[in-house]
Structure 1
């Protein structure tokens, strides 16, 4: 709303300035000198009389005169091509403002008939960038969520325009050099991301050219450096042709275009999968004996991959999370599942896979899980660790994903997301904090196409390009503040 001279005279220069939120030409520093104001004489307006009634009449007349003056000033100033107090712009006079200076995409800034900025020529859906005011539903070509990764206490998403938004975290570095935030912020300098992976304190992205860059905590080399903190992103120079990423607590792995896999970072549990176990390696190491790898997932200190031949896992195995029927660490891939793989997912200390073998009887097909089961995350009542895959009486889903002590799935037939296991922070998404081994329906989440679980929170990417997250939110990892989120919360990765 423009404030013209007469109104400004009534408010005083400081009040007028505050009302506009602008530095006006006639106000500078601590001293102000307002333009001359019209003098309204009650007698000239036919208002007079003595005493209280006369004063009221004078006040009414003054108000009417002021309103007339407002109208006259507005008509006289807006549209004359000169920038005057109360105007953002006037015709071609923009006061030096540009689309960029207003925080919009570079473009053509114009002035409207009301002498306010017209930014329609700045941010336009279809210009290749997702910007403030645009959403996945209004501008899917740039703003739809293309990939999401939940770290231990932070979350990142790749948008259709290749930009990355992150939120949550303990120290901010995994977000991209900014402080901890509970609402999505853009990671500066990245506009060509295709995939994202989030660990305990680091984040990595794959770029359109097949390279990888990482940032955040890197004491074990998980960001291609042994520096305590890495920002700006460090390029993993040894890798090209990367098609997928996975991040554990302190290690990172990638699938390459030739169907092999490489890992780097912490390796004292055999995390690299190459037969060695140094404390750390900032240089990617090829995992031994893998080919035809299509999918990769990481737990806290172990990793699993899927290929046509089944599932192979390596790394820490103290609760059977590798599935090798023992508790020994495995520095080379172990194959707990062979053939017939439809889906698989890994939690911090467990794993699950859907197996459909034509030669098996129907009763033997379906879901198999292994590892820790303290909270029923394997789909059966809490029990001792399952050191090898155990058949679970549950249908075969199309997507499986595990967190710290819980599992979630997208069913093969259209329906709600299902979760089971630990629920102390509402990570099962059913509005309760009741842990259970039986499946719980996640409320208000339909048409999910991707799941990503952190330690105690989950995010689901929906078919329409939007995002829903739920679970622990102390660090803001669910988005939209830091209050508890026992039910899915719509996260808007744009518009800050």
Structure 2
């Protein structure tokens, strides 16, 4: 079992480049499988007409509580928050040092401008454009300044600098990381065995290297275990890496090769929020000795509607069915008076924050991650978190846990607490469908 954090501050319209789509299929996004057939679509059209126009702008935190969190991110089994004072506070599994401090030491990062986390790794963009990372480095995710670059299984609780020019954004995945520089260039490092860093040479570990294949202005990256997504500033989504089913692909398209290092667009536009889960390996029970099946999924908000793709066993795509979808498929939600504004994904769970501050989730509820009693083990569509009444500005999803940043600056969590993900300073095996407030000391 990993170590549990004690919640101290971790003093933590341009011209478009033409790409070879590599035979990528580009269908229109699937409108999904409505549980109520065409009647549902007619009802939603009426609801759309009654709603205020969709506004993708992130809601601000008002900081009526102290300490006040202003940003929230999630790894597989840990969460981190950027605080109003520029420090970071992390909780959950600290087995690889993802919380940014050792068992008895003080936090060591401050002046944080933006956070990102995935797997057991956390990175921070500082006010001066420097990037520091800590936690797991099994695929070279930390971008340690060695030559040649290294990967190791050691615990790295101390934030280490990544050798980069000034950055404007950092995004971490379970096997690598990418930074958008202030120059607009995109640099990535870490594992590349499925060309998930956008390089044809599938070497295992790489130092921060420019992604020459992609020249469109980048808003952010979403890195899965074996595939990567990039959201352009114009709202388009591109992907590269593993395309083949069974590897947890989140490419959202097809290609004539199982691994595609060249960026190609997914049939989505005007995307304002994008998220993906890490790959989970599921054993395949077969007399033919078939390999394990990897599942992962991604979701996006397009013009106030959720579209998801990938593979899910328990309904995390929110489309009314379990199973895989190669292409973006429209998800179904309960709230028809507000718009989905932000999506988050982890494990076999997806959640969405709506423009009225409410939260809905889909997928695996065995640990209470949907906020429902575990007697209902899953939901195939997005459904409200019934016991959470706070107005939310951001939601983050770990493998079996969910946390939400409330408008006043407090953070509330529910689901699994096996590694201390609920921020109570304790661990247990019970499901926790009732949200509890994270206790910062």
Common fold, TM-score beyond 0.5?
A: yes
Distance in 1, Cα, partners of 2:415 & 2:207? 32
**Corresponding position of 1:210:** 129
Which structure has the bigger radius of gyration? 1
**Corresponding position of 2:79:** 155
Distance in 2, Cα, partners of 1:445 & 1:262? 40
Structure 1 residues 325 and 441: alpha-carbon distance in aligned structure 2, compared to 1, 3 A threshold: same
Work out which of the residue numbers 398, 408, 430 in structure 1 matches 2:351. 408
Distance in 2, Cα, partners of 1:445 & 1:304? 33
Structure 1: which 5+ runs fail to align? 1-102, 104-135, 180-184, 357-364
Higher relative contact order (CA 8 A, sep 6+): 2
Work out which of the residue numbers 161, 180, 183 in structure 2 matches 1:255. 180
**Corresponding position of 1:191:** 110
Q: Calculate the TM-score normalised by the size of structure 2.
A: 0.71
Work out which of the residue numbers 365, 368, 371 in structure 2 matches 1:423. 365
Q: Calculate the TM-score normalised by the size of structure 1.
A: 0.64
Mapping of 1:78-477 within 5 angstroms? 137-139=64-66, 143-179=67-103, 188-225=107-144, 226=150, 227-229=152-154, 230-243=156-169, 245-286=170-211, 288-307=213-232, 308-319=234-245, 320-325=249-254, 328-348=258-278, 349-356=296-303, 366-394=305-333, 396-412=339-355, 414-432=356-374, 434-442=377-385, 443-477=387-421
Distance in 2, Cα, partners of 1:279 & 1:318? 19
Distance in 1, Cα, partners of 2:329 & 2:435? 30
Structure 1 residues 280 and 172: alpha-carbon distance in aligned structure 2, compared to 1, 3 A threshold: closer
**C-alpha distance after superposition, 1:388-437 (max 9, x if no partner):** 1223344651101111112100113x152000011121111234352011
Provide the aligned length of Structure 1 versus Structure 2: 343
Shift of 1:217: 1.9
Shift of 1:454: 1.4
Q: Is the 8 A contact 1:345 1:351 kept in 2?
A: yes
**C-alpha distance after superposition, 1:249-294 (max 9, x if no partner):** 1211222334443221111121212333211113344362142222
Shift of 1:209: 0.5
The structure whose residues are more often helix, as a share, is 1
Q: Is the 8 A contact 1:430 1:440 kept in 2?
A: no
Matched position secondary structure for 1:173: coil
Q: Is 1:482 matched up with 2:427?
A: yes
**C-alpha distance after superposition, 1:182-223 (max 9, x if no partner):** xxx996221211222222222111101111011122122111
Q: Is the 8 A contact 1:342 1:353 kept in 2?
A: yes
Q: Is the 8 A contact 2:316 2:363 kept in 1?
A: yes
Shift of 1:170: 4.9
Distance in 2, Cα, partners of 1:287 & 1:388? 26
Structure 1 residues 446 and 297: alpha-carbon distance in aligned structure 2, compared to 1, 3 A threshold: farther
Shift of 1:167: 1.5
Output the aligned Cα RMSD. 2.6
**C-alpha distance after superposition, 1:225-267 (max 9, x if no partner):** 3243334322111241233x22221211222334443221111
Q: Is the 8 A contact 2:404 2:411 kept in 1?
A: yes
Distance in 2, Cα, partners of 1:449 & 1:334? 32
Structure 1 residues 381 and 338: alpha-carbon distance in aligned structure 2, compared to 1, 3 A threshold: closer
**Corresponding position of 1:22:** none
Structure 1: 4+ residue segments shifted above 6 A: none
Matched position secondary structure for 2:99: helix
Q: Is the 8 A contact 2:178 2:186 kept in 1?
A: yes
Shift of 1:385: 1.5
**C-alpha distance after superposition, 1:345-381 (max 9, x if no partner):** 222311122333xxxxxxxx83322110321111123
